[in-house]
Each structure stands twice: as C-alpha cells, then as structure tokens.
Amino acid sequence: MTVESPKEAPVKFPSPLVRELRGARHVAVLTGAGISAESGIPTFRDAMTGLWAKFRPEDLATPEAFRRDPRRVWEWYEWRRELVARARPNPGHLALVELARRVPRMDLFTQNVDGLHQRAGSRDVLELHGNITRDRCFDNDHPADPGSRSEETPPRCRRCGSFMRPDVVWFGERLPERELEAAWESAARCDLFLSVGTSGAVQPVASLVDLARHGGATVVIVNPDASVFSARDRIVLQGPSGRILPALLAETWPERRSSP
Ligand code: APR
C-alpha cells in the first residue's frame, strides 16, 4: 500500500497502521542518507559535486583508493566533515527520539556516518557504517588520541605510525559484527519495522526489510521516492521524513500535544 502526501496537505495515515504503531512493543528503525537530506547533508552520490565532481564514490571510499592517494581521500572526508559539523538534526531525527520514548522497545540502526541521531538525542544508536567524526589508523585500527592529530595530511597514528583514516566502512569492507548481529536480531523479532530514507540498494542491510517481513513484522517505508520499494506487503509512506515522521507521531499519540 502506498500513502501519498501531496505537499502542504495534512498527511493522513491508514488507521490500522496508527493502531499497530500505538500497540507496538518492539519497533526496529533503519535509517539511511535520506533522513539527513533535510539537514542539508548531501547523500553519498550528491556529495560528488564541485571539486569532487570528477570522482566516483568508489574512487574515494575504498581501501585501495586510500592506499593509492591517502591525501586525496583524507581531504574529501575533511570536506564532508565540515558539512556535517555545520548541519543540525531535523524534525525527522527528533521524531525518532520521541518514538523511542513512546514504545517499550525501539532499536535504531543507521547507515549514516554523520552522528545526527545522537546529536538529536537518540541513545544507543547502532552505526552500521561507522562515524565520520572519528578516526582510526589504517594498519591496526588504533583509535585516535582525542584532539591531538599530527601535522601531516593525513595525520599519523601515534602508536604505530600508519596513516589515520575516517572510522567509516568503505566499499568492500565488512560491517561491524556486533552492530550487524544486533540488526538481524532486531529485524527478525520486532513487530514493526520502519525503514527511513534509504534506497535499500546496499547489502547486507537491504535484506533487513525482508527479514522483518518474513518474521511477521509490519514493514513501513518512508521515502519521497516510492519506486525504490515495491509496495507489496509493505506500507509506503511517500514523502520527506522530516514531514512524515512528526505527522505519524502526532496522529498516533494525539494526546501528546496536551501533555506537559
Ligand atoms: N526523506 C526521506 N528519504 C529521502 C529524503 C527525505 N527528505 N530525501 C531523499 N530520500 C531518499 C532517496 O529517495 C533515496 O531512496 O533517501 C534515499 C537515499 O539513498 P542512498 O543515497 O542510496 O543512501 P543509503 O540508502 O543510506 O545508502 C546506503 O550506500 O552509498 C553508500 O555508504 C553509503 O551509507 C551509504 C549506503
């Protein structure tokens, strides 16, 4: 089922969905680049603009690219870090903070590396692709000493001398095991699975939606582009998450407006 929400019109949700969300005991949420779009953070592909337009993400976000030209890769990440530092969480991030307060259990998994969920106030965020604000060293994964980067570009690890790199998952690298296992477990057991702002193109994370569906969960997709998912066995809420998520919460818990 696809629920369209023309711009400016109030969003109306199917009442079975509102009832299910209100009664849900365990909600699993997976977010992707789209939830940060309204904070002005370009999605991965949109980030290849200006100086970086001549590169493909695959030419910058791989271990091979870093080995070939560590300075170029480091500078691209420095540019993206500046965008992230200037960005602010948007109503979509904030709605998920509130959702966690409304349901007995909510697990939040993100493919984003921008840390905006945490800055909005979400706790225990499981970062499947790492975090761009952290560094670790290329050879041994030593974490950076906070606030004391060496002068070189990229800086060097104080412990082993190898280059520092952003603590993110690059193409061809494995996802962190603990986070991935927690995501499988959560998707398989939840009673409502909410996928927000992700194209579902990147495995193995994309399979979480199917896992949730096979486990009997109601699957809800929030995306302005309804074509990325087939509407079969899912509820597609078509629109930007900064608008859809606050509206969904307002309709599910109307009394919250009057609560202190
Ligand atoms: N609200 C919700 N969704 C949105 C919004 C919005 N305001 N704006 C765009 N979107 C949707 C797009 O329609 C698209 O389906 O967000 C999705 C973003 O897709 P991707 O750029 O593929 O991001 P994501 O799914 O997070 O990609 C996963 O792939 O490129 C790698 O490592 C990168 O973490 C990234 C991963």
Q: Give the CATH number for residue 183.
A: 3.40.50.1220
Which of 144, 168, 192 lies at the terminal end of a domain, its last residue? 168
Same domain membership, residue 214 and residue 108: yes
- Pick the residue with more confidence: 246 or 259? 246
Rounded CA separation 180/215 (Å): 17
Picking from 168, 187, 218, the residue at the C-terminal end of a domain is: 168
Integer CA distances (angstroms), 73 to 151, 174, 213, in order: 17, 19, 38
Residue 234 has a pLDDT of 85
Give the mean pLDDT of 173-192.
Answer: 96
pLDDT at 9: 63
Give yes or no for residue 43 CB within 6 A of ligand 1. yes
Structural domain harbouring 250? 1-40+89-129+175-260
Tell me which of 228 and 31 has the higher pLDDT. 31
Mean pLDDT on 40-56: 72
Same domain, 247 and 209: yes
Ligand 1 center from residue 199 Cα (angstroms): 5
Residues 186 and 147 in one domain: no
Q: Give the model's pLDDT for residue 44.
A: 67
Taking alpha carbons only, the member of 5, 25, 32 closest to residue 236 is: 5
In the reported structure, the alpha carbon of residue 189 is separated from the centroid of ligand 1 by a whole-number distance in angstroms of 25
Residues 121 and 73 in one domain: no
Cα-to-centroid distance, 205 and ligand 1 (Å): 13
pLDDT value, residue 78: 92
Same domain, yes or no, for 190 and 202? yes
Query: Hey, CA dihedral for 228, 234, 236, 241, is it positive or negative?
Result: negative
Predicted local confidence at residue 231, as pLDDT: 63
Catalytic residue from among 26, 93, 117, 129: 129
User: pLDDT of 95-151, one tens digit each?
Assistant: 999 999 999 999 999 999 999 999 999 999 999 999 999 999 999 999 987 667 778
The pTM score is 0.92
User: Do 141 and 225 belong together in one domain?
Assistant: no
Q: Per the structure, how many domains does the chain have?
A: 2
SS3 24: coil
pLDDT value of residue 260:
46
